[in-house]
């Protein structure tokens, strides 16, 4: 019936519109500082909902979710380790391990979330064993964000970074920049064509100067 057809057409149009809004918000997040991201979601709470829905759909296209690797990794390590999940999204990590997990995001998708900018988390210095950024290093103030992770990590603590593979121009330059920030590369898993999984150990405080190799390209999604 023509009625059904117009319902279907309308649904398809709405889908397109949401897709376009997701790509726009996603681009804004990758091209602005974390402070601007705070403002974006404060001024437009619906934007977060659209962003998250789009993010979840994108991830479903991937053969594997990098968060599952991080969950497996944590399950092999003592449950007594305290974890901080920077940009936790729906808190799947916290829900999947026995560890104490501090969950930080801009908007609370779950009651576990502490709402804050990841460049400034309400944790004491040297209070966590493992810091996690799973597809969450979005702000242009990368250095500031990683310095914050360094601050809250105990000496020798672990930093796990999972990022979209296409965001790296030069993994080696990135790793040497990380060394400047007080993170020694422990292992790198490049086995997925979709994402890179990096494990670091905190060696000490960051060197107080600009770190030129610390660059990630924005992850922009194509219209489908
Ligand atoms: N780590 C989760 C979610 C990844 S999506 C997972 O793997 O499923 C990226 C998340 O980072 C989003 O929820 C987004 O809101 C959050 N984020 C982006 N910039 C942030 C910031 N400045 N402070 C806190 N969270 C931020």
- Ligand 1 and 134: CB distance under 6 A: yes
User: Are residue 13 and residue 124 in the same domain, yes or no?
Assistant: no
- Ligand 1 and 41: CB distance under 6 A: no
Please report the pLDDT score of residue 1 as a whole number.
62
| Residue 185 Cα to ligand 1 middle (Å) | 23
Instruction: Specify if 211 maps to a domain.
Output: no
Please report the pLDDT score of residue 184 as a whole number.
97
Residue 210 reports pLDDT greater than 80: no
pTM: 0.93
Percentage of the chain modeled with pLDDT above 70: 99
User: Are residue 119 and residue 194 in the same domain, yes or no?
Assistant: yes
How many whole angstroms separate alpha carbon 54 and alpha carbon 57? 5
- Ligand 1 and 47: CB distance under 6 A: no
Query: How many other β-carbons are positioned within 10 Å of the β-carbon of residue 162?
Result: 22
- Ligand 1 and 198: CB distance under 6 A: no
Please report the pLDDT score of residue 224 as a whole number.
63
Query: How many other β-carbons are positioned within 10 Å of the β-carbon of residue 196?
Result: 21
Q: How do beta strands 195-202 and 183-189 pair?
A: antiparallel
Please report the pLDDT score of residue 16 as a whole number.
87
Instruction: Specify if 216 maps to a domain.
Output: no
User: Are residue 20 and residue 76 in the same domain, yes or no?
Assistant: no
User: Are residue 123 and residue 35 in the same domain, yes or no?
Assistant: no
What is the number of alpha carbons within 13 Å of residue 201 lying toward its C-beta?
5
| Residue 133 Cα to ligand 1 middle (Å) | 8
User: Are residue 53 and residue 100 in the same domain, yes or no?
Assistant: no
Instruction: Specify if 215 maps to a domain.
Output: no
Instruction: Specify if 116 maps to a domain.
Output: yes
| Residue 195 Cα to ligand 1 middle (Å) | 16
Please report the pLDDT score of residue 219 as a whole number.
82
User: Are residue 55 and residue 71 in the same domain, yes or no?
Assistant: no
- Give the pLDDT band (50/70/90) at residue 204: very high
DSSP 104-160: EESS-SSTTEEES-TTS-S--TT-EEEEEEES---SS-HHHHHHHHHHHEEEEEEEE
Domain edge (last residue) among 60, 81, 103: 60
- Ligand 1 and 132: CB distance under 6 A: no
Q: Which of 62, 87, 123, 152 to mutate to test the pocket of ligand 1 (most atoms within 8 A of CB)?
A: 87
For residue 37, the domain's CATH number is: 1.10.10.2150
Please report the pLDDT score of residue 2 as a whole number.
62
| Residue 86 Cα to ligand 1 middle (Å) | 7
Computed over every residue of the chain, the mean pLDDT equals 92
User: Are residue 141 and residue 54 in the same domain, yes or no?
Assistant: no
| Residue 87 Cα to ligand 1 middle (Å) | 3
Instruction: Specify if 224 maps to a domain.
Output: no
The answer to whether residues 55 and 65 touch, using CB atoms and an 8 Å cutoff, is no
* pLDDT tens string 57-100: 889 989 999 999 999 999 999 999 999 999 999 999 999 999 99
For residue 191, the domain's CATH number is: 3.40.50.150
* pLDDT tens string 188-199: 999 998 999 999
User: Are residue 9 and residue 93 in the same domain, yes or no?
Assistant: no
The long-range contacts involving 117-123, CB below 8 angstroms and separated by at least 24 positions, are 117/34, 117/35, 117/37, 117/38, 118/34, 118/86, 118/87, 118/145, 118/148, 119/34, 119/35, 119/144, 119/145, 119/148, 120/148, 121/84, 121/86, 121/148, 121/152, 123/84, 123/152
Provide the residue range defining the domain that includes 52. 2-60
User: Are residue 82 and residue 177 in the same domain, yes or no?
Assistant: yes
User: Are residue 33 and residue 142 in the same domain, yes or no?
Assistant: no
Domain count, the chain: 2
Point out which residues pair with 199 in neighbouring strands.
Answer: 160, 187
Instruction: Specify if 218 maps to a domain.
Output: no
């Amino acid at each position: 019936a023509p009625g059904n057809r117009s319902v279907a057409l309308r649904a398809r149009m709405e889908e397109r519109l949401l897709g376009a809004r997701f790509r726009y918000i996603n681009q804004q997040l990758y091209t602005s500082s974390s402070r601007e991201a705070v403002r974006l979601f404060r001024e437009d709470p619906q934007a977060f909902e659209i962003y998250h829905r789009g993010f979840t759909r994108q991830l479903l296209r991937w053969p594997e979710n990098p968060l599952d690797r991080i969950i497996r990794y944590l399950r092999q390590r003592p449950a007594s380790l305290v974890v901080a999940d920077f940009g936790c999204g729906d808190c799947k990590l916290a829900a999947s391990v026995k560890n104490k997990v501090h969950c930080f995001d801009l908007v609370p998708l779950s009651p576990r979330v502490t709402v804050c900018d990841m460049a400034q988390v309400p944790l004491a210095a040297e209070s966590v064993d493992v810091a996690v950024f799973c597809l969450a290093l979005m702000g242009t103030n990368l250095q500031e964000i990683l310095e914050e992770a360094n601050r809250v990590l105990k000496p020798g603590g672990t930093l796990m970074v999972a990022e979209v593979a296409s965001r790296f121009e030069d993994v080696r330059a990135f790793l040497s920049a990380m060394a400047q920030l007080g993170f020694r590369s422990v292992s790198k898993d490049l086995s997925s064509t979709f994402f890179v999984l990096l494990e670091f150990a905190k060696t000490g405080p960051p060197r107080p100067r600009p770190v030129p190799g610390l660059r990630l390209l924005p992850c922009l999604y194509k219209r489908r």
